[in-house]
Amino acid sequence: AAKAAGRDRYHWFDWPMDKLQEEAMEVRKMTETALDRGRLLLHYQPVVELDNGPVGVEALIRLDHPERGLLPPAAFAGALDAPRLARRIGCFVLDSALTQTQTWHRQGLPLRIAVNISAYHLLDPDFLSDLQTALDAHPDLPASAVEIEITETAPLLNFTRARETLLACNQLGVRIALDDFGTGSASLTYLQKLPAQTIKIDQSFVRDIINDPKDYAIVSGVVTSARLLGLEVIAEGVETAEHAAMLGHLQCHCLQGYAIARPMAPEAIPGWISQYKPLVHQGFSTPPPPR
Ligand code: C2E
Ligand code: MG
Ligand code: MG
Ligand code: MG
Residue 284 has pLDDT above 60, yes or no: no
Q: Is 182 left (phi over 0), alpha (psi -120 to 50) or beta?
A: left
For residue range 121-169, what is the model confidence (pLDDT) as tens digits?
999 999 999 999 999 999 999 999 999 999 999 999 999 999 999 999 9
- Give the Cα separation of 76 and 84 in Å (integer): 14
pLDDT of residue 257: 97
- Beta-carbon neighbour count of residue 255 at 10 Å? 23
**Nearest residue (CA) to ligand 1, atom 27:** 73
Chain-centre distance for alpha carbon 31: 18
Helices and strands (DSSP H and E) totals, the chain: 13, 9
- Give the Cα separation of 93 and 60 in Å (integer): 9
Give the nearest ligand 1 atom to 81 CA.
44
- Give the Cα separation of 95 and 99 in Å (integer): 6
Chain-centre distance for alpha carbon 179: 7
Q: What is the mean pLDDT of residues 75-103?
A: 95
Residue 1 has pLDDT above 50, yes or no: no
- Give the Cα separation of 73 and 86 in Å (integer): 13
pLDDT of residue 66: 96
Residue 180 has pLDDT above 70, yes or no: yes
For residue range 19-71, what is the model confidence (pLDDT) as tens digits?
888 999 999 999 999 999 999 999 999 999 988 899 999 999 999 999 999 99
Chain-centre distance for alpha carbon 86: 15
- Give the Cα separation of 201 and 255 in Å (integer): 10
Residue 214 has pLDDT above 60, yes or no: yes
What mean pLDDT, rounded, does the chain reach? Answer: 92
Q: What is the mean pLDDT of residues 117-123?
A: 96
Angle between helices 159-171 and 127-136 (to 10 degrees): 20
ipTM entry: 0.98
Work out whether strand 254-255 and strand 40-49 pair parallel, antiparallel, or are unpaired. antiparallel
Q: Which residues pair with residue 40 across a beta bridge?
A: 63
In the chain the first and final C-alpha atoms are separated, in Å, by 71
Residue 101 has pLDDT above 60, yes or no: yes
For residue range 216-268, what is the model confidence (pLDDT) as tens digits?
999 999 999 999 999 999 999 999 999 999 999 999 989 999 999 999 999 99
pLDDT of residue 19: 83
Q: What is the DSSP string of 80-124?
A: HT-HHHHHHHHHHHHHHHHHHHHHHHHTT---EEEEE--HHHHTS
**Nearest residue (CA) to ligand 1, atom 14:** 257
DSSP state of 261: -
pLDDT of residue 291: 79
Q: What share of the chain is helix, strand, coil (3-state, %, to 5)?
A: 50, 20, 30
Rounded to 5 degrees, φ, ψ at 228 are: -65, -30
Pocket of ligand 1 (CB under 6 A): 45, 59-61, 72-74, 80, 93, 116, 118, 149, 179-180, 203, 236-239, 257-258, 263
- Give the Cα separation of 195 and 170 in Å (integer): 8
Q: What is the mean pLDDT of residues 75-104?
A: 96
Q: Note residues around ion ligand 2 (Cβ under 5 angstroms).
A: 116, 149, 179
Q: Identify the nearest ligand to the CA of 177 by its number.
A: 2
DSSP state of 264: B
Q: CA–CA distance from 90 to each of 28, 94, 116 (Å)?
A: 14, 6, 8
pLDDT of residue 268: 98
Alpha-carbon torsion (140, 273, 54, 121), positive or negative = negative
Give the nearest ligand 1 atom to 72 CA.
26
